[in-house]
Amino acid sequence: MKTTRIILVGGFLGSGKTTLLWEAAKHIMYDGKKVGLITNDQASELVDTAILSRHEVKVAEVSGSCFCCNFNGLIDAMKKVRSEANADIIIAEPVGSCTDLSATILQPLKENLKGELVVSPFSVMADPEKLSDILSGGNAGLHPNAAYIYWKQLEESDIILISKTDTLTDSEIAQLKERTKIVFPNSEVMTISSKASKGIEEWLNEVLNRTDAGKRIVEVDYDRYAEGEAVLGWLNSTIELTGESVNWDAFSEKLMRDLSKQFDELGAAVGHVKMMLESGNKFITGNITGLVSTLNFRGSAGTGNSARLTLNARVEMSPEQLEKIVCNTLDENAKGNIKADIVALKCLMPGRPNPTFRFSEVV
Of 22 and 247, the structure prediction assigns the larger pLDDT to: 247
pLDDT at 347 over 90: yes
Domain that holds residue 140: 4-228
Local confidence band at 47 (pLDDT 50, 70, 90 cut-offs): confident
Local confidence band at 134 (pLDDT 50, 70, 90 cut-offs): very high
Please, how many CA atoms are within 13 Å of residue 268, restricted to the half-sphere of its CB? 25
Q: Which of 82, 10, 75, 120 is nearest to 356 (CA)?
A: 75
Q: How many domains, in total, are found in the chain?
A: 2
Rounded Cα–Cα distance for residues 255 and 272 (Å): 15
pLDDT at 42 over 80: no
Is residue 354 assigned to a domain? no
Compute CA 157 distance to the chain's CA centroid, rounded to the nearest angstrom.
16
Q: What's this model's pTM, rounded to 2 decimal places?
A: 0.93
CATH of the domain at 325: 3.30.70
pLDDT value for 56 = 78
Q: pLDDT tens digits for 265-297?
A: 999 999 999 999 999 999 999 999 999 999 999
Domain boundary among 175, 201, 228: 228
Same-domain status, 158 and 246: no
Q: Average of pLDDT values for 40-61?
A: 82
Is residue 355 assigned to a domain? no
Local confidence band at 1 (pLDDT 50, 70, 90 cut-offs): low
Same-domain status, 184 and 331: no
Same-domain status, 167 and 295: no
pLDDT value for 280 = 94
Same-domain status, 18 and 138: yes
Domain boundary among 177, 199, 228: 228
Is residue 363 assigned to a domain? no
Q: What is the DSSP string of 291-325?
A: SGGG-EEEEE--EEEEEEEEEEEEESS-HHHHHHH
Domain boundary among 228, 246, 264: 228
Same-domain status, 207 and 240: no
